[in-house]
Structure 1
């Protein structure tokens, strides 16, 4: 038994020595081969492609195959997902979309991963199986970033004196978290900001920056900017925002569409939101609805006080318009004008009659005397109708000539009378001039 134990002990020692020699020889061979695997950590944006570079250098050993393994957030256990054999033949495992973009003969095992997800982030191992030196490998860390989803959510507070939230700027589902800030310009003394972040189940981060302040009316329609910075963006992302403060109608102004010939009047209101109702009343009676009051033709029929009542959900306000169409040329004006014309014509006729009455009588008397003398010396053989000439005129040619000569001699005076009548008509027309005035209140 003793000899058997000694023999067993001797054999165990020999096996141990042989194993040690084999281990040393493998280490020496690996050092002699001088193989080195070059890899590079990489980052990729969610849903984009990742390129994993893997190159074997400084060895003349034969390459038998290239193996890719991974440990990801989705599956922390190391597993083989891609194998490359001699001749560039590939074998896919675990369903990951992979493309071989290297060259087996040149000992380049680079691959491209398609459509990377956040859960695909992890450690990827590139292994070169060599003969006779054995496997050489390197680990490549793959980081997956996610671009932020940026938006501004506005508020519409009612004007008041308590600090409230005016707006929120979101940079959601980003990896890593984004930097969010507000550019307030001249409003920095009136507003303040608060920022918070939340970790989402998929590892992304949502950052929110709140804009706080007292909702004063003068802040309405002021422009500010939300600025977002992230590692996936070369430039900062800027979102414009206009502050929105609600308040009831505070002033109503009524203006015509034309300063000279208005066809309609508009009701202009300072309010936010815009009025939902416009009601026009005339002398206290509902007259029209809408922000425009049509006035096709101004006349005294439209005279009166018009009230525009504009309202939104917070209140209402009134504006007034007073229309006074003043026309001096009414029926009385036209009647006066006709009366003056008649008087002027009558005055001219009367003046002519009185001016020439004496001369007409003298001519008639002179003609009568001549006929009396003729009848005394020679009896008349014709009746009275023979006193008329062939044309039927009551005067003889001599009598007519005498009258016309007299009138012709006094035509300058007659023209003066006509001119006087015309000047009188012009003056009356000027007095009659009709005008219209509109008064806005």
Structure 2
């Protein structure tokens, strides 16, 4: 117990002045008051202060005797004791003398004396701070012949939150469901978690809950509820976390996703020898191609949504199916491909030649019809000329002669 200070004498009644009836009770009270006042006077002579440390970090436990020692006073020892989460019973763990520093009740090399004994500075450095270090540390100066002077240094441990933004995978619908969750976990003290939805056009609901973990840390979860429509799909929101261990607020951007199975599947021609399969789905669909319910021929190669033909031949004709699939379902589209028989170039040449022959024939007939082309004797019918005779002379034998006529002009 500290040595009584004469300056406190006027504040306390002499014990022998108490009446016999109350002497026993009041004696204990008076002694306690005297000790309390002496302790307050002793505390006022030592500077310390509270300390806050980041989990896993390093902190200073400050302690200095500010009272000027008299010529007949001397500092004999600086000692430290603690009452913490890991040491719930008061533990004297370190003594400091002018020539040595010594651990008591086991070494803890995380503590380092950084003060100066001759300067009456007993400050310690504590590294690799953990949750068990949180509590009260007492620095005590032993001065001969005056007594002891001490101060308490409360140490709080700050644990930075682990932040997780989770997509709750809502499926397309017309009822409010959980869209996303933002969690600040294992923090000390309790963190603040908010959703910034200022850019949303659709109304949403926010809920928050706080849980204390067995190790004294806290986990806060803030959820976002809304209707999972295509209008809200792709909208941006932000999760904002505040905490004493953070230099500034932490912000995580999040894009709301609405999930749905493949919708209508369309097959379109991409170029002369390829086709493409198109659909809307979230998550994105994968594509499977078949022909007539069987694997594809070797001249046909699937490349995701595209179907590529190495060469178009008649044996590639058939019903092609594209099946679009994601984790929510599947849907198919169909294409019937008909490859004509024969050589393509030969058929084209034959068709052109036939058209030319028909056109030439029609032209000739038209020219002849309108006598633009002259008619020659070989095109005319032969005529017979008869020679007249007298009635008395015998009729000569008829003779026929083919006459070639000039072309009529």
Q: TM-score range by the shorter chain?
A: 0.5 to 0.7
Choose 1 or 2 for highest CA Rg.
Answer: 1
1:307 CA displacement? 5.2
Change (3 A) 1:337 1:162: closer
Q: Secondary structure at the match of 2:119?
A: coil
Match of 1:273 among 283, 291, 299: 283
Change (3 A) 1:188 1:221: closer
User: Following superposition of structure 1 onto structure 2, how do residues 77-156 of structure 1 map, counting pairs within 5 Å?
Assistant: 77-96=89-108, 97-156=110-169
Q: Deviations over 1:297-337 (max 9, x none)?
A: 56888788755342334444444667799979624235448
Q: Is the 8 A contact 1:34 1:59 kept in 2?
A: no
What residue is the counterpart of 2:75 in the other structure? 63
Match of 1:332 among 350, 375, 380: 350
Separation (CA, whole Å) in 2 of partners of 1:34 and 1:203 = 30
User: By percentage of residues, which structure has more helix?
Assistant: 1
Match of 2:51 among 21, 39, 42: 42
What residue is the counterpart of 1:212 in the other structure? 225
1:41 CA displacement? 0.9
- Normalising by structure 2, report the TM-score: 0.66
What residue is the counterpart of 2:63 in the other structure? 54
What residue is the counterpart of 2:384 in the other structure? none
What residue is the counterpart of 1:347 in the other structure? none
Q: Is the 8 A contact 1:247 1:272 kept in 2?
A: yes
Count of aligned positions: 313
Change (3 A) 1:135 1:228: same
Q: Secondary structure at the match of 2:150?
A: strand
| RMSD across aligned positions (CA) | 3.8
Q: Could you list the runs of 5+ residues in structure 1 that have no partner in the other structure?
A: 1-15, 17-28, 344-441
Q: Is the 8 A contact 2:199 2:237 kept in 1?
A: no
Separation (CA, whole Å) in 2 of partners of 1:105 and 1:271 = 76
Separation (CA, whole Å) in 2 of partners of 1:219 and 1:277 = 27
Instruction: Please tell me whether residue 185 in structure 1 is matched to residue 198 in structure 2.
Output: yes
Change (3 A) 1:66 1:256: farther
What residue is the counterpart of 2:241 in the other structure? 228
Match of 1:312 among 309, 316, 326: 326
What residue is the counterpart of 1:359 in the other structure? none
Change (3 A) 1:58 1:35: farther
Q: Secondary structure at the match of 1:333?
A: helix
Separation (CA, whole Å) in 2 of partners of 1:272 and 1:109 = 64
Separation (CA, whole Å) in 2 of partners of 1:219 and 1:55 = 61
